[in-house]
Structure 1
């Protein structure tokens, strides 16, 4: 696979995922939408692993990674799908762009990582300022209940980032697709339980756009995008991979505006700019290191 093509594929998938999440819940409910996505992901990942004859490790470290990854995926996705009903799709991408900052904070608190340099601390302050700007901008959110959606998305970011830190500590070296299948398999029963405890009903008709969005997320968002991401990490410097988190939120904002009629107010732009500046500052050492090597 071409590395530039995989890089572009990640940007496109991550930029369109928030909009697809919103579309997938229209007419069928968030619980069934996320359950169907993960079920498709398990089937697709199983087929790919069988075709490529990829081994699935079951040693203790791998099992811990599957468990932690699955629980983190469940918590993050349930909250994201619930919150997506009230939050603009572009804003979801912006908030998930905070995950590197959240992971650094959690790593310092729970793992004792000593990587909070002055530039990274500045990045966290800028990210917090951008988040505060977005929170006080009620007009761009649409209605008061969007604050609950924002809180749910931020909790999802925290869970997702915490899962990354925990997985890093586990240090499992299983093949990425095996980790994907293990993670999806662990999370799937929990998604099924949420759906069953909710209404447990199947819709008489699935709207075509919702069905297409679910299929897209199950195939590309849950499997192909993950495989591309690990492929790019293996072949590119971390500094280049980090740029993805600076590109996708802006594209997602425009996609939400063009295809979903989402209003982008001035304060939302300001808050987004502050968050992206914070991410740039947080990753300054990596980016400057890349320029020195170039």
Structure 2
């Protein structure tokens, strides 16, 4: 079992990668057509993940159930990411991260209406507060930072991402995490090739500048490969509630990265809206956090 220090470092690294990935995406499209940047991202990530697959001596089965699971996973990779990349002209990197902070709430709604999962009153209140925060952001953002088109595209992206998670769980293929990720990236690459007839006219005719290349490499290597490895390591070793706190931490950190590294305007209204949205997430998770705290106290009492 990994040491506590190793777990803490992995958790911090995951939060850092997730907080900086939206900025890397925005940088990568600064000198590339968005969907070409997305295509390059997966084709750079594929050989790296294949090398890791061989290093860990993991299998990559191609039976019917496994392929079904890869396709389900690819929806959270390529399909959801298409809408993220299309949203980049309309939203700042901080707002993109903030929108992904809504993932647990959208997942809760999908679970409630599609799978009859019960939501507590406090969770509904948290959703209402988070949506209020998003409304404040929309009202307080300028056209360069917040645009309704970008908000809609991100809501579609996050909804597809959440639906993909439910789909993977329903398929329930007996796959190792790295096998699932490798297969999903492979399917994403195949899907990317199907986009070529529609984006060929936007093909790059020069080598992208350093900023765009660095964003592309970062999103390919750190976000598509290492963040996945950190995530699955933590899923096995920490409580689900602890994992969910990344949703609260990441958006606020991303806002500041965007402001300091990309000169993104952080108006008072946007900042206040972000605080309200994050507070809504805290309210949404409050019962889980309380239960987690009680569980830790019981464990401590038994050790004493």
TM-score above 0.5: yes
**1:227-285 residue CA offsets vs partner (Å, 9 max, x unmatched):** 11010111011121111111111110000000111111122112211211121111112
User: Is residue 227 of structure 2 the alignment partner of residue 225 of structure 1?
Assistant: yes
SS of match in other structure, 2:287 = helix
Q: How many residues end up aligned between the 2 structures? A: 291
Give the superposition deviation at 1:129. 1.0
Q: CA RMSD in A?
A: 1.6
User: Is residue 273 of structure 2 the alignment partner of residue 257 of structure 1?
Assistant: no
Task: Say whether the 8 Å CA contact 2:94–2:257 is kept in structure 1.
Answer: yes
* The 10-residue stretch of structure 1 (53-62 or 284-293) with the greater mean CA deviation from structure 2: 53-62
Give the superposition deviation at 1:143. 6.8
C-alpha change, 1:110 and 1:231, in structure 2 (3 Å) is same
Q: Distance in 1 between matches of 2:174 and 2:137?
A: 39
1:16 maps to 20
Q: Distance in 1 between matches of 2:170 and 2:274?
A: 31
User: Is residue 157 of structure 2 the alignment partner of residue 156 of structure 1?
Assistant: yes
User: Is residue 130 of structure 2 the alignment partner of residue 127 of structure 1?
Assistant: yes
Task: Say whether the 8 Å CA contact 1:28–1:203 is kept in structure 2.
Answer: no
Q: How does 1:50-69 map to 2 (within 5 A)?
A: 50-69=54-73
Q: Distance in 2 between matches of 1:168 and 1:274?
A: 31
Q: How does 1:183-198 map to 2 (within 5 A)?
A: 183-198=184-199
TM-score normalised by the chain length of structure 2: 0.91
**1:41-67 residue CA offsets vs partner (Å, 9 max, x unmatched):** 111110100122111233433222111
Give the superposition deviation at 1:194. 2.5
Task: Say whether the 8 Å CA contact 1:71–1:186 is kept in structure 2.
Answer: no
1:212 maps to 214
TM-score normalised by the chain length of structure 1: 0.94
2:291 maps to 289
SS of match in other structure, 1:136 = helix
C-alpha change, 1:196 and 1:202, in structure 2 (3 Å) is farther
2:140 maps to 137
Determine which of 98, 107, 115 is the counterpart of 1:103.
107
**Structure number, greater radius of gyration:** 2
Give the superposition deviation at 1:200. 5.3
Gaps of 5+ in 2: 297-304
**1:44-97 residue CA offsets vs partner (Å, 9 max, x unmatched):** 110100122111233433222111111332221011011012201001111100
Q: Distance in 1 between matches of 2:106 and 2:33?
A: 29
Task: Say whether the 8 Å CA contact 2:145–2:265 is kept in structure 1.
Answer: no
